[in-house]
Structure 1
Amino acid sequence: MNEELLNGAKEALASEKYHQAVLKFEELYKESPTEELNIYLSNAYYLDNQFVAAERIVLESIEAYLAEEPLFNFFQNVLIKNDSFILLREIIGTADFPGEYKERVLEKISSAEIGSSSNMAETNKKIANQFYHMADEPISVQIARFQTAKKLPLLLWLKSARFLLLDPFIHPIIRSSVLESMQKMRLQEKVNMYWLDEKEHPLNTGDLLPIQQTKSYIETNQILNEEVDVNDPILGEQLHEELRLQLMYLYPFAENVITNSTLWIQVLSSSYTEVTIDEENEQIKAIIKWQNKMQKYTKSMIQSFKNSE
């Protein structure tokens, strides 16, 4: 690391020459994107009133800010300054902080949301309407609007989210992502969800597990690790990514579909290897049907992003 440049950046920050500090820390971070420099650069951006850039940088190294409360205090200030209320609620919901501290953070978010509801009423209304009415849009646009909607106050976000969970024309990755957001925020909401079986299912979001803690996630990933990763890490990485999408599509009812994790991985792997499967087996037939259905969703998503380039 260029010690002279680092000392100059620290001196500029200390003497309140924030833009100079930004330029120097940007150069340092580009060469060596460490957690320490991430923290320095995000602070410089924030003090230079470059709040969007500050958020972009802190989100590159979230774990660094979860290490201790003073760092997370800064982290939450950055996200609140950018009206990233839902994202911050998700992060505090999954963070390992004491309950009392989490309550204080949530009170701070709620207070900021009240200000946003007053000062950003028209902008919020536009974002909410676009979030609410997007079934006719390509999936690339749906995903972009889902991310933008994380700037909405919780009550306004929830109003649209409840509708989207029941919209049969929304791409299923959006419905499952909305539900996952509710779980991350630790919301206690009774909702109905239109699922892949084309039926509505009542749910209490407070009863949901994170995807990574579900039985299907643990078992299928363990089998992939043991049977594929050790022999072919590149193929293993590809299969893990496809499995991740499958489990997202199936959330929160994956256990109803993946009743045999070993067979599920065998079928998944057979598309990429010379492993033969008994396609006359009734269990395997059912698995192939489910995996083909989800593959169509994924292909439509990939094509949508290609078309948007």
Structure 2
Amino acid sequence: MTPLQQEQFHQADQLLDQQHYHEAAQRFAALYEEVDEFVVNRQLVKSLYEDQQYAEALSYANEHLNEYTASRELMQLLIEVELHAQAFIDVRVQLNSLPKWHDEFIKQVEQAESSFAKHYQTSLNSQLKQFYHLGDGSFAEQQRRFKAASHLPLKQYLIGAKFLARDPFVNPLIRSSLLQIMQRLHLQERITIYWLDEQEHEVDLGRLQDVESIQTVQQIESMIKKEFSQLDPLSYQMFDQEFHLQLAFLYPLIELAIPNPTAWYHALTAYSQSTDQDYDVILAKQWQNQIARLAQRLGMQ
């Protein structure tokens, strides 16, 4: 920071100490536009939190999330901001990715969820109803309801999520995102899901992997990178993006659609040039065409 910016920081800090939280937040926000440093971000988040602007505080905290995991004091600030913003699902996913802090803070999350369910029953029922009927809306409306559902306590979230996982009217991308959240919640139960083949499948949530940890995904990514990343970067970027869009539709049954990674790679990158197409390549291309049609309906291609 320049000497002038340091003086502005000191003045805003004094306002925070004097409990003039709203004015302090305004000063820190103006400074933060000029100086994207964690020390400014931290004081801005503190000011907004004390001024009860919880959603705004969380939005800024998310910009420096890694720094908040560095110490217990910073984690406590982050957790309090998240819980006052009712970001119950997001904070659970976050703690599952931070074993160092999970056991220390998970009780606070459970207590906050219990308190919310007790004191805001009408609001909770309304939120759950909106989530439960997610499949009734357009893709944009489904996205909005999916995002809003992260403010539900875990118990109510799972009631809606398990119903939506087998609802044929839920967009496949939304269902995939829902199941990826359930995987990150480290749940240990079996559920039934509706999938792209228009059939129901039983899935063990405890055995689900993150997309990038699936061996089939790693094999195909490696083939695309090896063939194109150096010689044809534009094609590499195009095929990599298309493959990850396909994965977004296929999760969590990626390996059911891709029993042969090499065939999927050839169907993706060289189908039109191939004159000796085997059965696995043809099947892979049929899957890819189906996904392309779904993506086109959503305006994604």
TM-score by length of 1: 0.87
Match of 2:296 among 294, 299, 304: 299
Deviation larger for 249-258 or 13-22: 13-22
Q: Which residue in 2 is equivalent to 1:88?
A: 91
Q: Return the alpha-carbon distance in structure 2 between the equivalents of residues 268 and 36 of structure 1.
A: 47
CA 1:77/1:267 → structure 2, altered by over 3 Å: closer, same or farther?
Answer: same
Check the 8 A contact 1:85/1:154 in 2, yes or no: yes
Q: CA RMSD in A?
A: 2.3
Q: Return the alpha-carbon distance in structure 1 between the equivalents of residues 110 and 147 of structure 2.
A: 20
**Matches for 1:213-228 after TM superposition, within 5 Å:** 213-228=213-228
Deviation larger for 226-235 or 213-222: 226-235
Deviation at 1:288, TM superposition (A): 1.5
Deviation at 1:204, TM superposition (A): 1.9
**Matches for 1:103-182 after TM superposition, within 5 Å:** 103-182=103-182
Share of identical aligned residues, percent?
A: 29
Deviations 1:233-269, CA, capped at 9 Å, x for gaps: 4554444333222212212221222234344344334
Alignment partner of 1:54 is 2:93: no
Deviations 1:201-250, CA, capped at 9 Å, x for gaps: 11221111111211122222233333333345455444433322221221
Figure out how many residues of one structure are paired with residues of the other and give that number.
297
Deviation at 1:143, TM superposition (A): 1.2
Amino acid at match of 1:141: E
Q: Return the alpha-carbon distance in structure 2 between the equivalents of residues 236 and 32 of structure 1.
A: 36
The alignment partner of 2:170 has SS state of coil
The alignment partner of 1:13 has SS state of helix
Query: Unmatched 5+ residue regions in structure 2?
Result: none
Check the 8 A contact 2:266/2:281 in 1, yes or no: no
Match of 2:284 among 279, 284, 287: 287
Check the 8 A contact 1:117/1:153 in 2, yes or no: yes
Amino acid at match of 1:112: A
Amino acid at match of 2:25: V
Deviations 1:245-301, CA, capped at 9 Å, x for gaps: 221221222122223434434433459xxx733484322221211111112222233
Q: Return the alpha-carbon distance in structure 1 between the equivalents of residues 234 and 191 of structure 2.
A: 40
The alignment partner of 2:193 has SS state of strand
Q: Which structure carries more relative contact order (alpha carbon 8 Å, separation 6+)?
A: 1
Deviation larger for 157-166 or 243-252: 243-252
Match of 1:38 among 41, 44, 68: 41
Deviation larger for 64-73 or 232-241: 232-241
The alignment partner of 2:203 has SS state of strand
CA 1:41/1:278 → structure 2, altered by over 3 Å: closer, same or farther?
Answer: farther
Amino acid at match of 1:165: A
Check the 8 A contact 2:69/2:75 in 1, yes or no: yes
Check the 8 A contact 1:215/1:255 in 2, yes or no: no
CA 1:279/1:151 → structure 2, altered by over 3 Å: closer, same or farther?
Answer: farther
